[in-house]
Amino acid sequence: MIRAEARRLGFGFCGFSEACFLEDEAPRLEHWLKNNRHGEMGYMANHFDKRLDPRKLVPGARSVISLLYNYQTEARPSDPDAPKISKYAYGQDYHHVIKKRLQHLMHFIGEEIGEVDGRVFVDSAPVLDKAWAKRSGLGWIGKHTNLINKEQGSWFFIAEIISDLELVQDGPVKDYCGDCTRCIDACPTDAITAPYQVDGSKCISYFTIELKEAIPEEMQGRFDNWAFGCDTCQDVCPWNRFSTPHSEPLFDPHPDLLKMSKSDWEDMTEEVFGALFRKSAVKRTKYAGLKRNLQFLQTSDTASS
């Protein structure tokens, strides 16, 4: 019943796991943080215990409902030389779009089953989304550390409901990456340091979104024209040949976004930025941050020529 309602609300996949301490993930997270793989993302070191045990976020929690929401799109910029932004940021900010769906699902559960205590999460709290999605049988963690679903690839947002509802658990699925190393080989900044290991402080998404200071000069010429985020490891993943375009109108790009030429991006004013990205996740980097990224790409172009 929960799965059927989740699908009606637009979620492609829904799975259940026990709300418990993530024993396997604890040493990995500790090692990742100790080696400063999070760079300046200080918030990643906060609430360590809550990241590993959902019962500290929702007292009395018994189940984690994991859900996937498709954002794959075939939309492309008309100018092949225009700076690139990650597909997830084309439309409206996914936090707001998906949270409303989660709240509807939570309300439905309460109406159908009775009083249920729980909270909804979509990438905005100390929750290890991918670990729970894996435990809920929604896919496996690929060598690029993204979740891969055998039926639909990896172009998904992950969300959760942590509640005191007891549900039959779904087990994890097999890892189907095999000998493939396409994501590792394609990473422009060598951020995938080994299979299943990513140095977040070397990722283009980190540099263009999280880093508030100047982008290190040694990264010049290595951004492959990415101005906000990076999709390279997903673009080359063979499993994404099974992905299909989303059907969420709110994720469609602003009508003017894909028409922008390279010079339009370089000449972007704060007013244009506000009109294009007022409801987009791109607003997180702010106008000054995006201009810094664009200037870095320009400098890289000049240096390479």
Annotated active-site positions, please?
123
Cα 283 from chain centroid (whole Å): 16
Produce one character per residue of 216-246: b if its CB has 16 or more CB atoms within 10 Å, e if not. eeeebeebeebbbbbbbbbebbebbeebeeb
Amino acid identity for residue 55 in this structure: R
Tell which residue, 28, 108, 23, 26, has the closest CA to residue 67: 108
**CB neighbours (10 Å) of residue 131?**
22
Euclidean distance between the first and the last CA atom of the chain, given in angstroms as a whole number: 59
Quote the strand ranges of the chain, DSSP E. Answer: 13-18, 63-70, 84-85, 118-121, 140-141, 147-148, 156-163, 192-194, 197-198, 226-228
Tell which residue, 130, 132, 128, 135, has the closest CA to residue 170: 135
User: What is the DSSP code (8-state) at residue 202?
Assistant: G
Element (H, E) at 110: helix 94-113
